[in-house]
Amino acid sequence: MTSSGTSGVQSQSPEEINPEQQIALEEYAEHDMPVHEAVLPVPDPGVEEHLPRLADVDKAAADRVERQVVTMYLLVPVMAVLFVLSYYLIPRTESIDFGPLHSSAKHVALGLTLGIGVLLIGLATQQWARQLMANNEVVEERHPAHSPADANEEALRQLNVGIDESGVPRRKMLIFSALGAVGILAAPALVLLTDLGPVAGPNYRRKTFETTLWKEGIRLVNDITYTPIKPEDLSIGQLLNGVPENLKELSGTEFNNAKAKCPIVVVRMNPADIKIPANRQDWQVSGILAYSKICTHVGCPISLWEQQTHHLLCPCHQSTFDLADSGRVLVGPAARALPQLPIKVNDEGYLVARSGFPVPVGPSFFERDSRHDLGQSQEYR
Amino acid sequence: MRLLSSRRRHPAAKALLLVAALFVIGAVYAAVAPTEQSAAEPNTSQQVTKGKELFSVNCSSCHGLNGEGTSQGPTLVGVGAAAVDFQVSTGRMPLAQPGQQAPIKPAVFTNDEIAALAAYVATLGPGPAIPDSSQYSTDGLSAEEIARGGELFRTNCSACHNFTGQGGALPEGRRAPSLVGVPNKHIYEAMLTGPQQMPVFSDQVLPSQNKREIIAYLNAIHSEPNHGGLELGGLGPVSEGMVGWAIGIGVLIGFAIWITARGARAR
């Protein structure tokens, strides 16, 4: 175990000029520049001198390392036995408390025994490799990635022989019919792709994900309990998570598809504190406003509403909408204002929708009809 | 007396004499003047009178002498007795110092004093009354009703308070408090009055039956035994990820350093 034999690179003496330094010197001379030693590239220091470890020179030390490694390996079966014993012997109801940490005794024992066992294998192997296995530094030069030129020529020659022997150059129909036979198999595969669903053209989008259950006269009801709401039930600062009353008639997939789009948040604010644009004056009932609950970014349901700041915050990416200002975006990745649902009071005194949502609810997508949107900037900035 | 006569022309003598005279006049007036009568309405109960006294001393500097509100604090007209009971008995009020949010601390007043304050504030304007125990007691609720409480909680409350009521962060240093261990009455009052940034969930929209179901759901999930070891605050992937990255990867880096370290040499 000596260092000189296998080391591939000899260390250089400082006086020698290496090729990089030679290039630099020539460039400096070409441009008539003064040469200082400091600007020359640092000489290649070569591989560090190999120094023996304690276990390489001292037999007693090597024996000690061997004992350590063997002891660690021998502890692994002990851990395995303890694991099996704890599995059968510790009752499931037993628990241990480490301060505030309340744990099942069985799980702690299983985790500790198996974990320590695996750790011991790693530690022992690593100690063996670090202290006892040969540790000579070796330099492996890079090889060119391409094959030698004669191998390339030989491969090409064999390929041409193969093409010639197959008869293709003389009988062209063979290769054309073969390629046609394989190519036509794409047709069955493409037909199966239609099972992914209908093509989402403008008409299909308008009828499906750009529309919701809301239309004129549909009552606003509490989500979960479906109780209808009167304006006098809502006090200032109130938040209500609502759905259209006709959601109750649906079930299964239809229900889930509808509920992904139609939920609303209804809030009541002091009309003196909020900005209602002239064209939305009849969309609200004395400070009661209804907005889509689906974030315009990627469609998370939002109901984190701060009653004093009037901000509605999306829990997914922190888009913040100002419900006191037409639901416009204050901060966050959402680009479009939260769609507002126009509401009114019907003859029986219940809150109902004045119409459906004037713009599509939910997340943005490329072909979405965004002509009627209130953006982040526009007239409100 | 020699001291007095010899110092009577001292520059501070005039000022001291003036202070002494004012003190004497004040003391005499306090002894002689009639004690102040409270301008109580004929039918105002003793409790309200006591509440008004407590209010003037402890609350009026921010909320105004008649609870009309100032630049430092909101009006209390119409907040109702429930809001006072919630804010004062959880120690949020009186506020020790202005900040983003009133912190929870040990209550300053006794139950009688809180009742008196609540009774006084209730006279300022109509507002929700303190709920009685039949409204927030969860006795006798069926499993189905508790499950519905869970649905209602996840629909209305989980956005801020986390789906198991562990609480969560709000913008600008505010936070939704944890609901673990909060008494039923306080949860009910918070829903009823909407303290600080929390919206109101009035009894007309979320009837007391629904509120009881929500409270029962919280009590049910918070009484579940946890044998899973360290729950890391139950905040979900955030706390687990933090432990994984900070501790787990830290240990792995330690091993990586040990494996690649050069180690001791014989000379």
> What was the ipTM of the complex prediction?
0.71
pLDDT of B7 > 80? The answer is: no
Is A128 exposed, middle or buried (CB count within 10 Å of its CB: 0-12, 13-18, 19+)?
Answer: middle
Q: Which of A103, A313, A315 has the CB atom closest to B227's CB atom?
A: A103
Pick the residue of A101, A108, A232, A238 with the most B CBs within 10 A to test the interface with B by mutation: A238
Pair B116, B163 in one domain = no
Asked whether the beta carbons of residue A308 and residue B148 sit closer than 8 angstroms, the reply is no
- Which residues does residue A104 pair with via DSSP β-bridges, in sequence order? A95
pLDDT of A349 > 50? The answer is: yes
Model confidence band, residue A14 (pLDDT cutoffs 50, 70, 90): low
Pair B113, B179 in one domain = no
Structural domain count, chain B? 2
Q: Which of B209, B224, B239 is the last residue of a domain?
A: B224
In a domain, A115, yes or no: yes
CA neighbor of A292 nearest in space, from A356, A238, A246: A356
Q: Say yes or no: B2 contacts chain A, CB-CB below 8 A.
A: no
Pair B75, B121 in one domain = yes
**What pLDDT, on the 0 to 100 scale, is given for residue A119?**
96
CA neighbor of B93 nearest in space, from B108, B72, B81: B108
Tokens in use for A139?
A: 């330099």
Model confidence band, residue B239 (pLDDT cutoffs 50, 70, 90): confident
pLDDT of B40 > 50? The answer is: no
Pair A113, A221 in one domain = no
Pair A238, A360 in one domain = yes
pLDDT of A6 > 50? The answer is: no
State what percent of residues in chain A have pLDDT above 90: 53
For A119, the closest chain B residue by CA position comes to: B255
Pair B115, B136 in one domain = no
**What pLDDT, on the 0 to 100 scale, is given for residue A247?**
94
Question: Which three-class secondary structure string do you get for B212-247?
Answer: HHHHHHHHHHHCCCCCECCCHHHCCHHHHHHHHHHH
Q: Which of A225, A236, A306 has the CB atom closest to B170's CB atom?
A: A306
E strands, A22-171, in order: 95-98, 101-104
CB pairs under 8 A between A and B: 107
- Domain with A32, as residue range(s), is 16-46
Residues B23-38 have pLDDT tens digits of: 888 888 877 765 544 4
In a domain, B251, yes or no: no
* Average confidence (pLDDT) over A322-340: 91
Q: Say yes or no: B198 contacts chain A, CB-CB below 8 A.
A: yes
* Average confidence (pLDDT) over B49-77: 89
A 101-160 → B contacts, CB under 8 A: 101-104, 107-108, 122, 126, 130-131
Between B61 and A17, the more confident residue is B61
For A241, the closest chain B residue by CA position comes to: B156
User: Are β-strands A288-292 and A304-306 bridged in parallel, bridged antiparallel, or unpaired?
Assistant: unpaired
Q: Which of B97, B130, B163 is the last residue of a domain?
A: B130
Q: Say yes or no: A236 contacts chain B, CB-CB below 8 A.
A: yes
Q: Which of A130, A232, A307 has the CB atom closest to B194's CB atom?
A: A307
In a domain, A177, yes or no: no
* Average confidence (pLDDT) over A20-45: 73
Pair B104, B159 in one domain = no
Pair A107, A241 in one domain = no
**What pLDDT, on the 0 to 100 scale, is given for residue B264?**
78
Pair A281, A376 in one domain = yes
Tokens in use for A329?
A: 């975006």
Question: Best-predicted range by mean pLDDT among A27-31, A168-172, B154-158, B229-233?
Answer: B154-158
CA A37 vs. chain centroid, Å, equals 51
Residues in contact with A264: Cβ distance below 8 Å, sequence separation at least 6, in sequence order: A220, A241, A242, A243, A290, A291, A292, A293, A341
Pair B111, B145 in one domain = no
Q: Which of B152, B207, B267 has the CB atom closest to A224's CB atom?
A: B152
Q: Which of A131, A149, A166 is the last residue of a domain?
A: A131
Amino acid identity, residue A133? M
Phi, psi of A240 (to 5 degrees): -135, 130
Pair A329, A365 in one domain = yes
Phi, psi of A162 (to 5 degrees): -60, -45
Residues B104-134 have pLDDT tens digits of: 888 889 988 999 999 999 999 888 889 988 8
**What pLDDT, on the 0 to 100 scale, is given for residue A40?**
64
In a domain, A247, yes or no: yes
Tokens in use for A217?
A: 């006269």
- Which residues does residue A266 pair with via DSSP β-bridges, in sequence order? A240, A290
In a domain, A226, yes or no: yes
**What pLDDT, on the 0 to 100 scale, is given for residue A36?**
64
Asked whether the beta carbons of residue B263 and residue A130 sit closer than 8 angstroms, the reply is yes
* Average confidence (pLDDT) over B76-91: 91
Closest-CA distance, B230 to chain A, in angstroms, reads: 6
Q: Are A282 and A344 in contact (CB under 8 A)?
A: yes
**What pLDDT, on the 0 to 100 scale, is given for residue B37?**
44
Pair A25, A123 in one domain = no
DSSP-assigned letter for residue A330: E
pLDDT of B187 > 90? The answer is: yes
**What pLDDT, on the 0 to 100 scale, is given for residue A37?**
58
Closest-CA distance, B200 to chain A, in angstroms, reads: 4
pLDDT of A346 > 90? The answer is: yes
pLDDT of A15 > 70? The answer is: no
**What pLDDT, on the 0 to 100 scale, is given for residue A16?**
66
CA distance B63 to B55: 9
**Summary mean pLDDT of chain B:** 85
Question: Which three-class secondary structure string do you get for A164-201?
Answer: HHHCCCCCHHHHHHHHHHHHHCHHHHHHHHHHHCCCCC
CA neighbor of A346 nearest in space, from A354, A337, A336, A358: A354
Q: Are A206 and A213 in contact (CB under 8 A)?
A: no
**What pLDDT, on the 0 to 100 scale, is given for residue B210?**
93
In a domain, A321, yes or no: yes
User: Are β-strands A101-104 and A95-98 bridged in parallel, bridged antiparallel, or unpaired?
Assistant: antiparallel
**What pLDDT, on the 0 to 100 scale, is given for residue B228?**
65
Asked whether the beta carbons of residue A309 and residue B201 sit closer than 8 angstroms, the reply is no
Pair B92, B142 in one domain = no
Angle at Cα A365 formed by Cα A359 and Cα A369, nearest 5°? Answer: 35
Helix (H, G, I), strand (E, B) or coil at A158: helix
**What pLDDT, on the 0 to 100 scale, is given for residue A39?**
62
Q: Are B233 and B239 in contact (CB under 8 A)?
A: yes
Angle at Cα A311 formed by Cα A294 and Cα A364, nearest 5°? Answer: 30
Pair A369, A338 in one domain = yes
Which chain B residues are within 8 Å of A235, Cβ to Cβ? 200, 202
Q: Say yes or no: A238 contacts chain B, CB-CB below 8 A.
A: yes
**What pLDDT, on the 0 to 100 scale, is given for residue B36?**
45
CA distance B105 to B91: 5
Is A44 exposed, middle or buried (CB count within 10 Å of its CB: 0-12, 13-18, 19+)?
Answer: middle
Q: Say yes or no: B137 contacts chain A, CB-CB below 8 A.
A: no
Which chain A residues are within 8 Å of B199, Cβ to Cβ? 237-239, 267, 305, 307
Closest-CA distance, B138 to chain A, in angstroms, reads: 19
DSSP structure string for B190-209: HHHH--TTSPB--TTTS-HH
Q: Which of A131, A163, A180 is the last residue of a domain?
A: A131
pLDDT of A75 > 80? The answer is: yes
Which chain B residues are within 8 Å of A309, Cβ to Cβ? 171, 197
In a domain, B255, yes or no: no
Q: Say yes or no: A315 contacts chain B, CB-CB below 8 A.
A: yes
Amino acid identity, residue B180? V
Q: For residue B211, give the CATH number of its domain.
A: 1.10.760.10
Pair A332, A219 in one domain = yes
A 249-288 → B contacts, CB under 8 A: 267
pLDDT of A95 > 50? The answer is: yes
Is A321 exposed, middle or buried (CB count within 10 Å of its CB: 0-12, 13-18, 19+)?
Answer: buried
Pair B101, B59 in one domain = yes
What pTM does this model have?
A: 0.69
**What pLDDT, on the 0 to 100 scale, is given for residue B41?**
43
Model confidence band, residue A365 (pLDDT cutoffs 50, 70, 90): confident
- Domain with B185, as residue range(s), is 131-224
Pair B50, B120 in one domain = yes
Pick the residue of A126, A304, A305, A321 with the most B CBs within 10 A to test the interface with B by mutation: A304
pLDDT of B1 > 80? The answer is: no
Pair A220, A112 in one domain = no
In a domain, B241, yes or no: no
CA distance B212 to B189: 12
Q: Which of A103, A126, A233 has the CB atom closest to B204's CB atom?
A: A233
Q: Which of B80, B106, B130 is the last residue of a domain?
A: B130
State what percent of residues in chain B have pLDDT above 90: 32
Q: Say yes or no: A311 contacts chain B, CB-CB below 8 A.
A: yes
In a domain, B234, yes or no: no
DSSP structure string for B75-108: --TT-HHHHHHHHHHTT-SS-SS--SSPPP---S
Pair B105, B157 in one domain = no
Residues A180-211 have pLDDT tens digits of: 999 999 999 899 988 888 888 888 888 888 88
pLDDT of A112 > 50? The answer is: yes
Tokens in use for A330?
A: 């204050």
Pair A215, A244 in one domain = yes
* Average confidence (pLDDT) over A128-146: 86
Closest-CA distance, A373 to chain B, in angstroms, reads: 26
Helix (H, G, I), strand (E, B) or coil at A265: strand
CA neighbor of A7 nearest in space, from A140, A109, A100, A121: A140
CA neighbor of A361 nearest in space, from A343, A344, A337, A330: A337
In a domain, B247, yes or no: no
Angle at Cα B218 formed by Cα B217 and Cα B222, nearest 5°? Answer: 120
**What pLDDT, on the 0 to 100 scale, is given for residue A379?**
44
Asked whether the beta carbons of residue B160 and residue A302 sit closer than 8 angstroms, the reply is no
Structural domain count, chain A? 3
Model confidence band, residue B162 (pLDDT cutoffs 50, 70, 90): confident
- Sheet with A311-313, strands from edge to edge, namely A304-306, A311-313, A320-322, A328-331
* Average confidence (pLDDT) over B236-255: 88
- The number of residues in chain A equals 381
In a domain, A200, yes or no: no
Pair A69, A40 in one domain = no
Q: For residue A248, give the CATH number of its domain.
A: 2.102.10.10
**What pLDDT, on the 0 to 100 scale, is given for residue A267?**
94
pLDDT of A79 > 70? The answer is: yes
Pair B219, B138 in one domain = yes
State what percent of residues in chain A have pLDDT above 70: 91
**What pLDDT, on the 0 to 100 scale, is given for residue A1?**
38
CA distance B259 to B248: 17
Pair A212, A92 in one domain = no
Asked whether the beta carbons of residue B198 and residue A307 sit closer than 8 angstroms, the reply is yes
Pair B141, B204 in one domain = yes
